[in-house]
Structure 1
Amino acid sequence: MTRSDSAGYDYDVVIGGAGLAGSAAAILLARRGVRVALLERRSNPEAYKVLCTHSLTANAYPVLDELGLVPAIEKAGAVRNEARWHTRWGWIEPRAAPTGPGLPYAYNIRRSTLDPMIRSHAAETPGVDLLIGHQVTGLVRRAGRTVGVRAATPQGEREIRARLVVGADGKDSAVAKFAGVPARTHQNARFGYFAHFRDLPLHGGISHVWFLEPDMAYAFPNDDGVTVVAVLPDKKRLPAFRADLEGSFLDFFRALPDAPPIDFAERVTKITGTVDHPLHSRKPTAPGVAFIGDAALTGDPLWGVGCGWALQSAQWLTEAIAPAATGRGDLDRSLTVYARRHRRRLSGHQYLAADFAKARPFNPMERLMFSAAARDASMARHMHLFASRLIGPLRFLNPAALAKASAVNLRHRGAAGRSGPAA
């Protein structure tokens, strides 16, 4: 039900897109007293994102906990996302220190399970109006700033006014288009195909990632015994790959080092993918507008970080703007705080991802860190923190870590030299 306040707003915040980012933001804002209209263009409340890694990196766990979703996610059969990574130096297998805490984790869970869960949770949150079948068709502007949206609905066109409009509508954000906020694009020199398999045996029952330089692949176990398998080869291989998609997909996976026996698993989805998946980033705010999730930044799918960043950006926006969204503060200043935090936390990660998306071999710094992580338990844990996006590039490549990696590799070379040619 639409409600108006003395300033003529129907809501404090209107959010375009009821996926992970939009639903999380709606829940967190409403809990802080913000009146939220959550718009979803699809008419089916069970709708979900299909092309996804289906992985929530460990940086997302605090947000899931705040949302209160952890018990439901575990009950649904989500798999804690421990992982091992194959490199030319062997497997990197992070494990908790013998006397230390367990490794941070979040979950692998299919979006067909997760999206309806979080959307339903948003709909049940007091202060949130979930408006299914509402597609943003334009923005309402006043004195140079956005003050609402126009939306096509099952009942016809309507206008919804709010202090803030949030674009949570993906990389091709309609909100961004109507606000005139362009995306910066980094080309991706890999293509990707995904399929789901049931009962695929995985060593240790955990996620596997293969760094083949430049090709990539991974297998992520999910709920209901389903494993998401992805292959991400160099685009130079695309013409031959497309000539026999199913055969190429299976042959690629079979040829992986220590490949799980995919021929003994049941494929339960068709092979889907994208031949062109550039990395996008936008300025996170404009007057009266904010962007979260893929609408603000779209990463490379090979890293599996999009879901985690969607949830984190929803939390960062909430923490920055909640009081101002209800009229108790300077909204523009609050948006500046959010934009600064978003850039500080994610721009370094995106820079490295865009560089690696050129489908090149490891550079000298990567060779140093990955080889050390394959040879030393503490370096493997350090790699886990970075891959989970719990630390940024500066901490990952801090002087102490570089010195430790160098010492590990020097010891390895020394031991190899002493053991003779057979090493």
Structure 2
Amino acid sequence: MTRPESTEHDYDVVISGASLAGCAAAILLARRGVRVALLERRSDPDAYKVLCTHALTANAYPVLDELGLVPALEKAGAVRNEARWYTRWGWIEPRAAPGGPELPYAYNVRRSTLDPLIRSHAAGTPGVDLLLGHRVTGLVRQAGRTVGVRASTPEGEREIRARLVVGADGKDSAVATFAEVPTRRHENTRFGYLAHFRGLPLHGGIGQTWFLEPDMAYAFPNDDGVTVLAVLPDKKRLPAFREDLEGSFLDFVRALPEAPPVDSAERVSKIIGTVDYPLVSREPTAPGLALVGDAAMTGDPLWGVGCGWALQSAHWLAEAVAPAAAGRGDLDAALAAYARTHRRRLRGHQILAADFAKARPFNPGERLVFSAAARDASMARHMYLFVSRLIGPLRFLNPLALAKAAAVNLRHARTPARTTP
């Protein structure tokens, strides 16, 4: 029997963290008949995450659609995230195939817009109780499984029992720590800083990413005419940034190929960042407990995948556990199904990202595919699907794709270089 012996539950599910993953999980579970307590340590319903790529990759679109957020995002001015990427072989510029469907997309949108929107949506969902100012201080355990949380609230300490506890509380998850879930950390040998600018034109009006081997940078247009501009250099550059953050940041941007005209734009935020951002992976489940979003897996910020994975993992959890969480099935079997999906869909991406976080140059496979993508439209679309996390590493680097990339590069090598008369 995988249900707790006690049948006295305040809720079916208690979720710690009312950001993207927590709100999405609460909405999707409640729509499936689950009673949810959604706990948020901050008391301000308009609170938002500051340090973020502010990007929802295309893999997140189906979840946004199911949540009913697409019209609200469009109304709020979220920008459909087309993209181009600089490499030493030139720019990779994905375009829809002639006569074919448009490329999949999601949105670039500031978290100051997105977080209050999805939190309000969760609070208005029947079956969800949004409890602001509730900080989880411990777990309630029974017979070797988690059966609830202890929380500090504006009214004092409180115990909330539930069949399932969900940690949606970020990479430094208190829920995972209290449950003693083992944490794997992969060193990230890049650091990152970002700032928001208004009036910063970008080539084609779309997002730009620079693969400088090993340094990285990106510029993503967001809602309200604001562009987030980020630099992710090798840590060898860290002493210079520590000595003069603003000067080093601006000099780095000015040196980019087709650099955005940062000196003529208005900076509307501080330059913020982190000098140590390891990639974190945890088992996504334990008895009576599940982890979603960054609590389960924190990706490298240079890829901008965290928001998309937060929404996807919330969706996978709701699909797997909703009946059992409502008392109509085997909860441990449901959690095992969620864990299998999470590992199958994300582990390969994380392995590649952890390797790339070593700030190394492109490996032979990457050189083959990236160079072909800069020279061939279909290879550019193939890369777009991978960067958007719509295909996994096995499809991205499958033998057929590698053979096609080799043929593109061979054809390019045989084409005489153009000469100027």
- Whether these two folds match at TM > 0.5 is yes
Q: Deviations over 1:277-320 (max 9, x none)?
A: 00000000000000000000000000000000000000000000
Cα distance in 2, alignment partners of residues 111 and 363 from structure 1:
34
Q: Deviations over 1:138-195 (max 9, x none)?
A: 0001111000000000000000000000000000000001101021000000000010
Cα distance in 1, alignment partners of residues 260 and 24 from structure 2:
35
Q: Which runs of 5 or more structure 1 residues have no equivalent in the other structure? A: 1-5
2:410 aligned with 1:397: no
Q: Deviations over 1:14-37 (max 9, x none)?
A: 000000000000000000000000
Hey, what does 2:336 align to over in structure 1?
A: 336
Hey, what does 1:230 align to over in structure 2?
A: 230
Secondary structure of the structure 1 residue equivalent to 2:389: coil
Hey, what does 2:3 align to over in structure 1?
A: none
Q: How many percent of aligned residue pairs carry the same amino acid?
A: 82
Secondary structure of the structure 2 residue equivalent to 1:129: strand
Hey, what does 2:286 align to over in structure 1?
A: 286
Secondary structure of the structure 2 residue equivalent to 1:395: helix
2:203 aligned with 1:216: no
- Whichever residue aligns with residue 279 of structure 2, its letter is L
Aligned-residue offset at 1:260:
1.3
2:77 aligned with 1:87: no
Cα distance in 2, alignment partners of residues 355 and 305 from structure 1:
16
Aligned-residue offset at 1:398:
1.1
Aligned-residue offset at 1:205:
0.7
Hey, what does 1:141 align to over in structure 2?
A: 141
Q: Deviations over 1:327-363 (max 9, x none)?
A: 1000000000000000000000000000000001101
Cα distance in 1, alignment partners of residues 187 and 394 from structure 2:
24
Aligned-residue offset at 1:122:
0.3
Aligned-residue offset at 1:386:
0.1
Cα distance in 2, alignment partners of residues 368 and 166 from structure 1:
41
Hey, what does 1:57 align to over in structure 2?
A: 57
2:275 aligned with 1:300: no
- Whichever residue aligns with residue 180 of structure 1, its letter is E
Cα distance in 2, alignment partners of residues 359 and 141 from structure 1:
42
Cα distance in 2, alignment partners of residues 195 and 403 from structure 1:
40
- Whichever residue aligns with residue 346 of structure 1, its letter is L
Hey, what does 1:203 align to over in structure 2?
A: 203
Aligned-residue offset at 1:420:
7.7
- Count of residue pairs brought into register by the alignment: 417
Cα distance in 2, alignment partners of residues 14 and 194 from structure 1:
34
Aligned-residue offset at 1:422:
7.6
- Whichever residue aligns with residue 386 of structure 1, its letter is F
Hey, what does 2:116 align to over in structure 1?
A: 116
Secondary structure of the structure 1 residue equivalent to 2:139: strand
2:386 aligned with 1:412: no
Cα distance in 2, alignment partners of residues 343 and 90 from structure 1:
34
Hey, what does 2:311 align to over in structure 1?
A: 311
2:155 aligned with 1:155: yes
Hey, what does 2:100 align to over in structure 1?
A: 100
Aligned-residue offset at 1:419:
3.9
Aligned-residue offset at 1:421:
8.1
- Whichever residue aligns with residue 74 of structure 1, its letter is E
Hey, what does 1:32 align to over in structure 2?
A: 32
Q: Greater CA deviation, 208-217 or 395-404?
A: 395-404
Q: Which runs of 5 or more structure 2 residues have no equivalent in the other structure? A: 1-5
Hey, what does 2:184 align to over in structure 1?
A: 184
Hey, what does 2:327 align to over in structure 1?
A: 327
Secondary structure of the structure 2 residue equivalent to 1:197: strand
Secondary structure of the structure 1 residue equivalent to 2:379: helix
Q: Greater CA deviation, 88-97 or 397-406?
A: 397-406
Deviating above 3 A after TM superposition, structure 1's stretches of 4 or more consecutive aligned residues are: 418-423
Q: Deviations over 1:349-385 (max 9, x none)?
A: 0000000000011010000000000000000000000
Q: Greater CA deviation, 394-403 or 127-136?
A: 394-403
Cα distance in 1, alignment partners of residues 363 and 95 from structure 2:
26
TM-score (norm 1): 0.97
Aligned-residue offset at 1:399:
1.2
Cα distance in 2, alignment partners of residues 23 and 198 from structure 1:
29
Hey, what does 1:3 align to over in structure 2?
A: none
Written as runs of structure 1 = structure 2, the 5 A alignment for 1:351-366 is 351-366=351-366
Check 1:421–1:201 CA distance in 2 against 1; reply closer, same or farther (3 A cut). closer
Q: Deviations over 1:252-275 (max 9, x none)?
A: 000000111111110000000000
Hey, what does 2:164 align to over in structure 1?
A: 164
Hey, what does 2:20 align to over in structure 1?
A: 20
- Whichever residue aligns with residue 218 of structure 1, its letter is Y
Cα distance in 1, alignment partners of residues 66 and 237 from structure 2:
44
- Whichever residue aligns with residue 108 of structure 1, its letter is N
Q: Deviations over 1:184-231 (max 9, x none)?
A: 000000000010000100011100000000000000000000000000
Cα distance in 1, alignment partners of residues 50 and 144 from structure 2:
37
Secondary structure of the structure 1 residue equivalent to 2:256: coil
Written as runs of structure 1 = structure 2, the 5 A alignment for 1:65-80 is 65-80=65-80
Cα distance in 2, alignment partners of residues 48 and 420 from structure 1:
51
- Whichever residue aligns with residue 398 of structure 2, its letter is N
Aligned-residue offset at 1:99:
1.4
